[in-house]
Amino acid sequence: MPIYVYWGEDDFAMEKTVVILRDRILDPLWTSFNYTSFPPDQADAIVQALNQAMTPPFGAGGRLVWLINTNVCQNCPDQVLAELQRTLKVIPADSTLLLTSRNKPDERLKSTKLLKQYATFCEFPLIPPWKTELIIKSVQQAAQSVGMTLTLPIAELLAESVGNDTRLLYNELEKLRLYTEGSGKPLNVNTVSELVRNTTQNTLQLATAIRNGDTPKALGILGDLINAAEPGLRIVATLIGQFRTWLLVKMIMESGERNPQAIAQAAEINNPKRIYFLQQEVKSLPLQKLISVLPLLLELEVNLKQGASETSTLQTKIIELCQICQRI
């Protein structure tokens, strides 16, 4: 009775793993009989999925039942819990039940504790945008998975360009792969910089403009990002990561620490060589400025997640952030 619980914010990585699982379980000739998915808005989806998982597969291969974006590990009524308790332990060996969710399972819930007894849990987290070394490693691993070998400068450029957006990374890698196959030429940094959309770097430029209190420049960069269809939440995530790094470095400097290795460790920066440049960026910045910016960025993130108008909300907050940086 294979049962899997996939959760996390990296939707693309999760989707790729679901496809691999589906291809491994199902026989292509019997997919229409043995594969069922239940969207979150379907009434009694969990109970129906459990009933379906109890049905033996037809023909060759196994059965796969997928509960998409379920909240059973965040909110589980008593009647649903009773169905889980009755069914999970008797699901046939040739049936697989898959539950996916963006939200972290609540370890306090009885449903989560029950699933822990029978299911394999797998997390698909997004790499924090300020952990550039991990993003570079992820770029190199993704390149290998599609049959490409990248030099370190190209991997660094891709990491800078796509950030922690796994879907965009694979799209850009596919573009580069097609280019090398079509042209027969090896990739170099100049070619990659022309082919790859670099919105993360623009967002870092936006962070610098905000830090300097340059409202016209900040709004201009924001307009370019919006025109490039850059998701608002990704813009905010990069801004939070950059200002968080500046704040940590500034706080450590003001504590009297001067050792680059010690500052790098405390600020969660794997490459101590970055510390010198970060120190220069925050050298003339008052600590209070950096402290004042982060709550507003977090408020902006909450507003966007609650469905506020993306363009107007971003513009309003960017102006407010620049004004605060000008005042302090």
What is the per-residue pLDDT for 327?
A: 62
Tens-place pLDDT, residues 178-225: 988 887 788 888 888 888 876 665 788 898 899 888 899 999 989 888
Q: Is residue 54 within 8 Å of residue 22, measured between CB atoms?
A: no
pLDDT over 70 at 1, yes or no: no
Work out the mean pLDDT of the chain and round it to a whole number. 87
Residue bearing tokens 């706080």: 251
The pLDDT-based confidence of 114 (bands split at 50, 70, 90) is very high
Sequence-distant (≥ 6) Cβ neighbours of residue 305 within 8 angstroms = 233
pLDDT over 90 at 26, yes or no: yes
Structural domain boundaries in the chain: 3-123, 132-195, 199-327
Which residue type does 207 have?
A: A
How far is Cα 319 from Cα 219, in angstroms, rounded to an integer?
Answer: 8
Secondary structure class of 96 (helix, strand, coil):
strand
Q: Is residue 233 within 8 Å of residue 305, measured between CB atoms?
A: yes
| Percent above pLDDT 70 for the chain | 97
Question: What angle is formed at CA 254 by the lines to CA 252 and CA 259, rounded to 5 degrees?
Answer: 50
3-123: CATH architecture: 3-Layer(aba) Sandwich (3.40)
| Percent above pLDDT 90 for the chain | 39
Tokens found for residue 48: 């129906």
Which residue type does 258 have?
A: R
Phi, psi of 30, deg, nearest 5: -120, 15
Q: How many CA atoms lie within 13 A of 263 on its CB side?
A: 25
Fold classification of 199-327 (topology level): Zinc Finger, Delta Prime; domain 3 (1.20.272)
pLDDT over 80 at 25, yes or no: yes
Q: Is residue 32 within 8 Å of residue 61, measured between CB atoms?
A: no
How far is Cα 27 from Cα 306, in angstroms, rounded to an integer?
Answer: 41
What is the per-residue pLDDT for 187?
A: 85
Distance between start and end Cα atoms, the chain:
61
Q: Is residue 129 within 8 Å of residue 238, measured between CB atoms?
A: yes
Question: What would the CATH number be for the domain defined by 132-195?
Answer: 1.10.8
Average pLDDT over residues 218-234: 86
How far is Cα 218 from Cα 265, in angstroms, rounded to an integer?
Answer: 31
How far is Cα 200 from Cα 207, in angstroms, rounded to an integer?
Answer: 11
Q: What's this model's pTM, rounded to 2 decimal places?
A: 0.65
How far is Cα 12 from Cα 109, in angstroms, rounded to an integer?
Answer: 27
Tens-place pLDDT, residues 71-103: 999 988 899 999 999 999 999 999 999 999 988
How far is Cα 257 from Cα 209, in angstroms, rounded to an integer?
Answer: 27
Tokens found for residue 28: 């292509």
